[in-house]
Structure 1
Amino acid sequence: MEISETPPAKAPRSLPGKIFDVLSGFGLATATLLILGLLTWFATLEQVNNGLYPTLNKYFATDWRNIFLLPELNGKTVWLPLPGGYWTCAVLLLNLILGGIIRIRKGWKHVGNLIAHFGIIFMLIGAGVTYHFSERGNMMVWPDEQSDAAEDYFEYVVEVAEIKDGKPENIHVIRGKDIVDLEGAKLRTFHLPEMPFDLELTGYLPNALPVSSAERAPDQQQYVADGYFLMAKPNLGKAEAAEQYIAGCYARIVEKNGPKSSPFILSGASYYPFSYRNGDRIFTVNMRKRLWPMPFTVRLNKFTAEFHPGTMRPKKFVSEVTRLENGVKANFTIQMNEPMRYEGLTFFQASYGPLDAMPGQTMYSVFEVVRNPADQWPKYSLIIVAIGMAVTFLIKLAFFLGAGPRKFRNV
């Protein structure tokens, strides 16, 4: 009598192994792709009412408040909590690395799958590079007018310039990253080449307004300069609201080897810059959102806005523009999902105004200008994915054709 041996019991999977199985599993990949599809669908519809940039910040921001969000549809909240797009992409990237590269079967039969997974991973990494390293601003242009500079959405800078013949020259820009930490009593002196003075900054507030001390007494012992003080406004706690912040700080003129001036207020809400005379020379100090010049000029020839019947909800808005560069003209049409790309810059149709414009009233166009080092990475990643799929197909075809003669010989 034969006695069969019972195979040894399989050792239970350890906790790290179980976690690895979940993170690298096909189920997690399917769930993240479905969530990304829903996020993209809701964001595409919502940007029509709320604008491109606020919608992107809501659905794809890194802020911890955006780990979960509630989408909107036709202006109404949809009670379907969804993970934020940034965090969903991060989970998908981890899943692809663990499951599509580490866990996947190896060998020349599976080389096509490996290539395709590398392509998708490259696409997600490109999205991360775009989010963290791209430069974004907006350009507002009225019909028959032109512009050659974009305004940053968030960064406030301090500009110091000398006025000659009514025009600013020798402009010195102090970037936002050098002043945002100057809160409270912390101060910093900035040395200005080619100018007879330096500039001392302190008391930076990311969102504040100058208020007259005669109308309202300082509530937190703020310093009063020329009868005004900076009153801090509340942090709205939303990434899309930061675009509306108005920065401010206190400043002093520091003469080279000389005395300091009385403190004065710099604010993004000021209509005119602070002016200072040194002998026969006149200088201005101003706080404003950073401007970055374009390598060409954009002229708006015509702006068309279509609205849903009986409402002010935009249905479609189109800008017909001319790009002017070194005497050469080129005409483009910019509309939603059809941007203008040129010299590493992309112009999107982002918004319009005035928002309360009456029928027949002239309206301006607002473009979102993006400089993105990974602008073409999605195209390259799609090429890699296509190559991987083609390799997989050819390998399967070769096996199919090779199996046919063998089956015929065995008959």
Structure 2
Amino acid sequence: MTSPTRSTPDRPPSVLRRIIAPLASLKLTVLLIALSIILVFTGTLAQRHQGIWDVLHTYFRAPIVFIPLDIFLSERSERSFAVPFPGGYTIGLLMLLNLIAAHALRFRVKARGRRLLTGAILVAVGVLSIFWFHTGPLPARILSDAGGYAGVLPLMLVGALFYAPLVAGCALTFARRAGIVLIHASLMLLLAGEGVTAATALETQMPIYVGATSNWSQDIREVELVLIDPSSPESDLTIAISQPALQRAASSGELIANPAMPVAILVDRYFPNSDIRPLSPGEQPSATAGFGVNVAAVGLPRVTGVDRNRSINVPAAIVTLLREGLPIGTYLVSPHLQLANFVPAEQEVRIADRPYRLAMRFRRFHKPYSMRLDAFHHDLYPATNIPKNFSSDIHISDPARSIDHEVKIKMNNPLRFEGETFFQSGYIPANHPGEPDLGTVLSVVKNPGWTIPYIACAAGLIGLVYQFGASLIRFLRRSTP
């Protein structure tokens, strides 16, 4: 006679599990995907009235966005009701937490004892080898030697060797679910990579005339007002006032003052986008000195994301310089005022019997190295004006690190140097038809997280191949009599 088995009551879930469970919900996953679709849709519509970069920062790189309802109308109204909506940062962070929580609750470590220890060591070695590979000079060298984007496949093939310990460790630790673990890890990396890019990436341009040397790049989405003291024989002392500071001063009426500046600056008017025109007969100038006594600034609508001319916002401002509370002069400043392409015209200002220069230019980022353009090549298809190839012969110099060599930057074959990528993006045209082009325009991208998408895609690809291969082998074994 057998005794009846005694049933044991189910253990109540732990407090941590009860906290994590809502984050791991599949309903939350579906909700976040639906919210992301709505955000992408409204962000696309918003580009009819806003610039691409404005939409990127207000919709996708913000914790919350206020979506105006008039984006669904053909014309934008002056007064429109806005609906608060989770921004890209909020949705992305919740997606990342949802993935981590689901993985923590539903995926079990299958290995025990020595097998678990071996798997953990292999996973750690794999993570370190992947980190070493992608943060070292090898990826940039592979891409450059293969000719730009043609090096993506060789990069992934070489990188697969460094992923081998990670795959082996996941196989030992998670057994059949190793591929799914890698796929989930790739999704987490993609979300984290966008966060790194949003926080650290910077895209600028570097114009260089043939024979000239440059050690700066400029951000054409933002301007700065500079007051330059040329009295030092070694280098000019430049005081730069940022665009947000100019906008705040224009709206509040407050003075911009700093102990390093010999004057205070009053921003009388600020134009987010503008054009410059000659003064009409009898028209009174807004400025009392400089270029503004002959020309006037006209406000224009902001450039939108669907602008066919691919133009940019070019601000302008009317500023008054004050010394000890007394006005020295009122000046019109704008990047439109230039001596030549990419060469801003600086207005001379005398302050306490010392000469200074005043200008508004696109925001500059100075480099610890310099680049000289030795030659620029602009090849066309025969009997057409269609560009076939742009290329720049660049001489890089960095005496502090004993760097002095020549490189060639071509279309689809960028240069990677000092954590930045230099793309051939344009050129400075000649002043008259038939003359050679005057220089090059390089797009300079600094993105410390540029290798993260490669890591994520490689991990996802390996995970898919592993999962499919393991399932196929099990199926074939069951089918074999």
TM-score (structure 1 length as normaliser): 0.65
**Which residue of structure 2 lines up, in the alignment, with residue 201 of structure 1?**
267
**Distance of 1:341 and 1:300 partners within structure 2:** 17
1:380 offset after TM fit, Å?
Answer: 3.0
Is structure 2 residue 354 aligned with structure 1 residue 278? Answer: no
Aligned to 1:234, what secondary structure does the other structure show? Answer: coil
Percent of aligned positions that are identical: 21
Aligned to 2:455, what secondary structure does the other structure show? Answer: helix
Pair 347,239 (structure 1): closer, same or farther in 2 beyond 3 Å: farther
Is structure 2 residue 367 aligned with structure 1 residue 294? Answer: yes
Opposite residue 153 of structure 1, the aligned amino acid is I
- For each residue in 1:231-261, what CA deviation from the matched residue of structure 2 results, as whole angstroms up to 9, or x when unmatched? 21233423766853321112122223x4233
Is structure 2 residue 455 aligned with structure 1 residue 380? Answer: yes
1:59 offset after TM fit, Å?
Answer: 12
**Which residue of structure 2 lines up, in the alignment, with residue 116 of structure 1?**
183
Match of 2:420 among 345, 349, 371: 345
Root-mean-square deviation over aligned CA pairs: 4.6
**Distance of 1:262 and 1:299 partners within structure 2:** 38
- For each residue in 1:44-74, what CA deviation from the matched residue of structure 2 results, as whole angstroms up to 9, or x when unmatched? xxxxxxxxxxxx9799898899x99xxxxxx
1:133 offset after TM fit, Å?
Answer: 4.2
Aligned to 2:327, what secondary structure does the other structure show? Answer: coil
* Counterpart contact for 1:248–1:267, Cα < 8 Å: yes
In structure 1, runs of 5+ residues without a counterpart are 1-15, 30-55, 69-86
**Which residue of structure 2 lines up, in the alignment, with residue 331 of structure 1?**
406
TM-score (structure 2 length as normaliser): 0.57
**Distance of 1:361 and 1:196 partners within structure 2:** 44
1:358 offset after TM fit, Å?
Answer: 5.2
Is structure 2 residue 247 aligned with structure 1 residue 180? Answer: yes
**Which residue of structure 1 lines up, in the alignment, with residue 203 of structure 2?**
136
Is structure 2 residue 300 aligned with structure 1 residue 233? Answer: yes
**Distance of 2:432 and 2:267 partners within structure 1:** 40
More helix per residue: 1 or 2?
Answer: 2
Match of 1:308 among 364, 370, 381: 381
**Which residue of structure 2 lines up, in the alignment, with residue 247 of structure 1?**
315
**Distance of 1:59 and 1:307 partners within structure 2:** 36
* Counterpart contact for 1:137–1:153, Cα < 8 Å: yes
Opposite residue 252 of structure 1, the aligned amino acid is T
Aligned length: 340
- For each residue in 1:62-111, what CA deviation from the matched residue of structure 2 results, as whole angstroms up to 9, or x when unmatched? 8899x99xxxxxxxxxxxxxxxxxx99x9999989879984997453223
Opposite residue 155 of structure 1, the aligned amino acid is E
Pair 320,97 (structure 1): closer, same or farther in 2 beyond 3 Å: farther
1:166 offset after TM fit, Å?
Answer: 7.5
**Distance of 1:180 and 1:217 partners within structure 2:** 26
* Counterpart contact for 2:239–2:261, Cα < 8 Å: no
**Which residue of structure 2 lines up, in the alignment, with residue 367 of structure 1?**
442
Aligned to 2:301, what secondary structure does the other structure show? Answer: coil
1:266 offset after TM fit, Å?
Answer: 1.9
Pair 166,208 (structure 1): closer, same or farther in 2 beyond 3 Å: farther
Opposite residue 444 of structure 2, the aligned amino acid is V
**Which residue of structure 2 lines up, in the alignment, with residue 80 of structure 1?**
none
Pair 202,360 (structure 1): closer, same or farther in 2 beyond 3 Å: closer
In structure 2, runs of 5+ residues without a counterpart are 1-24, 38-51, 60-66, 73-86, 109-173, 339-344
